[in-house]
Amino acid sequence: MSDFFQWLAGLPPLAQVPIVLVVFIALIGAVLFFIEYATRPGRGYTLLRLLVTVLVPAAVLLLFGLYNSVLWVAVLAAALGGVLFIIDYRSRQGSGYFLQLIAFMAPAMLLLALGLIYPALRTLMNAFITNDGTKFAGLDNFAWVLTSPDGLTALINTLVWVLVAPVVSTAIGLAYAVFIDRSRGEKFFKLLVFMPMAISFVGASIIFKFFYDARVGEQIGVLNAVVTAFGGQPVDWLGLEPWNTLFLVVILIWTQAGFAMVILSAAIKGLPAEQLEAAELDGATPWQRFWHVTVPGIRSSIIVVLTTISIASLKVFDIVSAMTGGRSDTTVLAFEMVRQFQLGGRSGFSSALAVVLFLLVLPIIIYNVRSLKKQREIR
């Protein structure tokens, strides 16, 4: 495996792409081939299952590369494969059923376990260990988050982001969706606001760096040009504490309002027209119709949009990194976490920041899991 990747690295970048894809698709083809024949009855197919369950785990480990304990691990894997074969052979749903299920699931589930669950647990552990990784630190790292200037600023700023960005982007998206609903050129108007979604946060940051630009003499940034045109002094928007965080939040709002608009616009179009007509006949003003008919009708979509943008604002990293690099008290949890690790190798602090971030996201997870469970019960 590592030999393969090392060989691949020697090729030009764009030549690597087709090779990786062909190898990957061939592997998936082999898996599907096995799935197709796994459940068939007959001695030949049983032998096939036995060979695959015993040899594949061992072969995968051997392919990873040679190292001190590989033979033992491979033998162990083969033995476990054999146990799996026996369990499957005696399974109530018929032999092969269990194996085909594993073949479908194993690639994704193994990657998730190894690449997401295990690392997340490691981070959770590291949060309670000192930065050099030698001693148990209790809650010291969390105390650092809550008391040090960097940690506290990051936490407060993240709260500002998550309180401001979702509400404002949703409000603007909703207002815009209502204003242009069934107007002429609706598609074009939608595109104008939707387009920032295709732009990276780094690109958006450069766009806004230019927009916020401040200098002595003639202004080249729109915002300061307006300020000076009214006789004011140019303002260094990104250095203006404590407001500068809000100027960064504007960038997220700029990219997310389009998302809110598209979702809410579709929801509005899904509302039964009779309700609006009935309200109109009853003499409701447009404002009343909007507030008492439209908004309750699209409530679930509004919640989806709010939670999605909340998660995006909790995890924001790129905007801070590209706009200010965390200077002038603009740092946020996700940014500070990477900075603590990359600059000082302070894995304890960095893990504690990640855990705090997780705790902030947790209520949203619980809410979503609950509604998903409800949905699946209805089915």
Partner 1 sequence: MSLVPETTRRALRKAEATSGKLKRAATSRGATLAAFIIAAIWTLPTLGLFISSFREANDIKTSGWWTAFANPSFTLENYAKALNSGDSLTLSKAFVNSLAITIPAAVVPIILASLAAYAFAWINFKGRNTLFVAVFALQIVPIQMALVPLLQLFSDGVQIGGLYILPGLGVNGLEGAYAKVWIAHTIFALPLAIFMLHNFISEIPGEVIEAARVDGAGHGQIFYRIILPLAMPAIASFGIFQFLWVWNDLLVATVFTSGTELPITKALQDLSGTYGQSWELLTAGAFISMIIPLLVFFALQRFFVRGLLAGATKG
- Binding to partner 1 in span 249-308, by CB under 8 A: 254, 257-259, 262-263, 266-267, 269-273, 276-277, 280, 286, 289, 301, 304-305, 308
- The residue type at 273: A
Helix pair angle (149-180, 299-314), 10° resolution: 150
Q: Mask: binding to partner 1, 47-76, rule CB under 8 A, as x and -? A: --------------x--xx-xxxx-xx---
Phi/psi at 129 (5° precision): -120, 150
Q: What's the closest the beta carbon of residue 198 comes to partner 1, in angstroms?
A: 4
Residue 105 interacting with partner 1 (CB under 8 A): yes
At which residue do the structure tokens 């960005």 appear? 165
Q: Which amino acid is at 38?
A: A
Residue 242 CB, nearest approach to partner 1 (Å): 23
Output the smallest distance, CB 68 to partner 1, in A: 6
Other beta carbons within 10 Å of 321:
19
Q: How many residues bind partner 1 (CB under 8 A)?
A: 145
Closest by CA position to 46, among listed 102, 79, 94 = 94
* DSSP line for 283-325: T--HHHHIIIIIHHHTHHHHHHHHHHHHHHHHT--HHHHHHTT
Q: Is position 172 an interface residue for partner 1 (rule: CB under 8 A)?
A: yes
Which range touches partner 1 (CB under 8 A), out of 22-30, 48-56, 150-158, 232-240? 22-30
The Cβ-side half-sphere exposure at 307, using a 13 Å CA radius, reads 15
Asked if 246 interacts with partner 1 (CB under 8 A), we say no
How far is 112 from 357, CA to CA, in rounded Å?
20
Of 50 and 73, which has the nearer Cβ to partner 1? 73
C-alpha torsion angle, residues 295, 296, 297, 302 (rounded to 10): 60
Which of 41, 115, 138, 242 touches partner 1 (CB under 8 A)? 115
Under rule CB under 8 A, which residues in 129-158 are in contact with partner 1? none
Among 202, 278, 296, 344, binds partner 1 (CB under 8 A): 202
Which position among 89, 140, 295, 317 is part of the footprint of partner 1 (CB under 8 A)?
A: 317
- A 10 A CB-CB count for 93 gives 10
Cα-to-chain-centroid distance, residue 42: 46
Contact call for residue 331 and partner 1 (CB under 8 A):
no
Q: In the complex, what is the shortest distance from the CB of residue 377 to partner 1, in angstroms, rounded to a whole number?
A: 9
Residue span binding partner 1 (CB under 8 A) among the ranges 139-147, 150-158, 233-241, 309-317: 309-317
